[in-house]
Amino acid sequence: MDAIDMHKPYDTTDKDWWRGAVIYQIYPRSFQDSNGDGIGDLIGISQRMGYIASLGVDAIWISPFFTSPMKDFGYDVSDYCDVDPMFGTLADFDVVVEAAHQHGLKVMIDLVLSHTSDQHPWFQESKSGRTNPKSDWYVWSDPKPDGTPPNNWLSIFGGPAWQWDAGREQYYLHNFLVEQPDLNFHNDDVQDAILATTRFWLDRGVDGFRLDTINFYYADKELRDNPALPPERRNANIAPSVNPYNHQEHLYSKNQPENIGFLKRFRALLDEYPASSCVGEVGDAQRGLELLGQYTSGPEMVHMCYAFEFLAKTKLDATRVAQVFEELDRVAKDGWPCWAFSNHDVQRHASRWDLTPQAQRLFATMIMCLRGSVCMYQGEELGLPEADVAFEDLQDPYGIAFWPEFKGRDGCRTPMVWEPSNQNGGFSDGFPWLPVSHDHLNRSVKAQEEEPSAILHHYRRAIAFRKEYPALVKGDHGGVFAHGDVLEFTREYQGQTLFCAFNLSDTPSLHGMPAGDWVTIGHELGGATPSPDYKLHLGPWQACLALKQE
Ligand code: BGC
Ligand code: MG
């Protein structure tokens, strides 16, 4: 299946490999089905490893493939140490790791530690009574005297964050679905059990983790009410604007100070293994970057945090990027962000920001030049737009709950398209769990491989460009500035200085180059060259990339 074979060595000597890495996110249900059941699987992933390596990325992040009732498509885990049969077996996972390592790729898996499935044996035991050894493993509370839930917390997926359990005659907390009860991290036995499952995967050879909802691990011990958030401070970055979750300031239901202690324990475990790394997903509409700073500063905390800033609905412009970096410098100076434009939770950015092909390319070039690591989502390299999924085909409970004002996450989760000839785009011989988008077929990998001007090649070039200049991978930046629609910054590392400018608009723009002697680079990315008098003419959606001559 895999024509491209690239062998770069798998290297565990560079403990810092994650800094500036490009990580390819695989949503396993939709990547490649190998057994015709219409659902992507681990063997499918291993069959496509050569393609992934050909992009030039450093690592893969595989969304959850653990045993799960699939109420939230794997983000509801019922056994942390096994593979769901629909995705394969532990032996298949070993094949994935081996294939990845053969191609020099690191493997990061997605640990969903904040909550389990309600079918997890831990929860089954916990709910069986108030005095069993696991009775305190989840967040249980008596009702208020009037029978209502203990506080006003809301679930992101709609409705109250509390579900009544008739057996215990108590409520339990669920920040997400009713079927995703939250673990009680105040209990050390819970932490120990979680760390033991983490060790299981490290021993199996994984190189790192994406940590789901890392700032939700702890809830306030006293279960205090969250205050209301004034409308002017609401921000629909995390939840769609029609979701009342945005009406609260989540002071007590997440972001608890105790989390720092657990994250240190987590990091200490990772440090026992060579070159392991993790990226924590920090979902917070108000304090995301501040938490990123807290969680990633210094060698005792997690390596990186996955930021929501560039996943926003509002189209990214130069001012916003500059603002984000200015805030990051203020609240997370020594922290390390991981950026993404698209993932399995948001509308694909080609559609979300209504981007022309030219704009998509410039954004790709830009993200590869920013300080931070990068996660790209399967199909992003093909420039895929959001798929239109009919209500009858919807799978995501979030979308079903908020339809049609918010259509959920199925439109970014439809199967990857490998070839145009097969009606399922080469994804599956069976009936796919979500329909393959017809709009996607002519953008398949095979079609783009044969078309030199396709965006897929641009992504490869942009990644290769980043890799060529250590300043882009690991360097600092000398301030990120917006001049109208043009974003400008320098990156520096060990005597190498790069200048990067991006015209994020349809209008040509004229600028001066910074002082110094510069030679333009990155012509393969369509970059502009300044005139001999150092005037920089940037066409619409054009970059200028230059290297300082010492
Ligand atoms: C994941 C979602 C998931 C949620 C609950 C996240 O942020 O990315 O897909 O529904 O956590 O686990
Ligand atoms: Mg399958």
- 377 part of a folded domain: yes
365-380 pLDDT, tens per residue?
Answer: 999 999 999 999 999 9
Query: Considering the domain boundaries, does residue 159 fall inside one?
Result: no
Bridge partners of residue 501, in order along the sequence: 488, 544
Both 347 and 250 in a single domain? yes
**289 and 390 both lie in a single domain:** yes
Q: What is the pLDDT of residue 85?
A: 98
CA dihedral 268, 271, 272, 276 (to 10 degrees): 130
The alpha-helical segments, DSSP class H, found in 312-374 are 318-331, 349-352, 357-367
Is residue 485 part of the annotated active site? The answer reads no
pLDDT at 4: 46
User: What is the domain-level CATH number for residue 522?
Assistant: 2.60.40.1180
Bond before 227 cis per omega within 30 degrees? no
Quote the ligand 1 centre to 69 CA distance (angstroms): 15
- Which residues are in the CB-under-5-Å shell of ion ligand 2? 33, 35, 37, 39, 41
E strand or H helix at 185, and its extent? none
Q: Is residue 181 part of a domain?
A: no
Please give the structure tokens belonging to residue 215: 């700032």
Do 492 and 384 fall into the same domain? no
Whether residues 303 and 401 fall in one domain:
yes
Q: Are residues 435 and 494 in the same domain?
A: no
Contact 76, 115 (CB under 8 A): yes
The count of domains in the chain is 2
Short-list 235, 118, 110, CA closest to 182: 118
Boundary residue ending a domain (429, 447, 466)? 466
The answer to whether residue 8 sits within a structural domain is: no
For 30, what's the count of Cα atoms within 13 Å in the CB-facing half-sphere? 27
Q: How far is the C-alpha of 98 from the C-alpha of 86, rounded, in Å?
A: 20
Residue 160 lies in a domain: no
Q: Identify the sign of the CA torsion 346, 347, 348, 351.
A: negative
- What are the residue ranges in the chain where pLDDT is below 70? 1-7
Q: How far is the CA of 14 from the centre of ligand 1 (A)?
A: 30
Q: Quote the pLDDT of residue 423.
A: 82
Atom nearest to 176 CA in ligand 1:
5
Q: Domain check: are 458 and 480 in the same one?
A: no
From the list 146, 203, 222, 272, the catalytic residue is: 272
- Supply the CATH number for residue 293's domain: 3.20.20.80
Pairing mode, strands 277-281 and 208-211: parallel
Predicted pLDDT at 7: 59
- Domain presence at residue 166: no
Same domain, 454 and 514: no
Distance between CA 4 and CA 24 in Å, rounded? 17
Q: Is the Cβ–Cβ distance between 499 and 474 less than 8 Å? A: no
Pair type for strands 337-339 and 304-306: parallel
Residues 507 and 459 in one domain: no
| C-alpha separations of 139 from 123, 232, 398 in Å | 11, 32, 23
Does residue 53 sit within a domain?
yes
Shared-domain flag, residues 88 and 230:
yes
pLDDT of residue 235: 87
433 and 517 co-located in one domain: no
Whether residue 288 sits in one domain with residue 226? yes
Q: Identify whether the C-beta of residue 417 lies closer than 8 Å to the C-beta of residue 445.
A: yes
pLDDT of residue 8: 79
* Predicted confidence (pLDDT) per residue in 15-49, tens digit: 999 999 999 999 999 999 999 999 999 999 999 99
Q: How far is CA 187 from the centre of its chain?
A: 28
Is 146 contained in some domain? no
Catalytic residue selected from 33, 41, 118, 212: 212
CA 327 to chain centre: 21
- Domain check: are 386 and 263 in the same one? yes
Among the listed residues 50, 56, 53, the one whose alpha carbon sits nearest the alpha carbon of residue 2: 50
Residues lining ligand 1, CB < 6 A?
72, 75, 112, 176, 212-213, 281, 283, 344-345
Residue that is last in its domain, among 430, 447, 466: 466
Structural domain that includes position 522? 475-548
448, 466, 484 - which closes a domain: 466
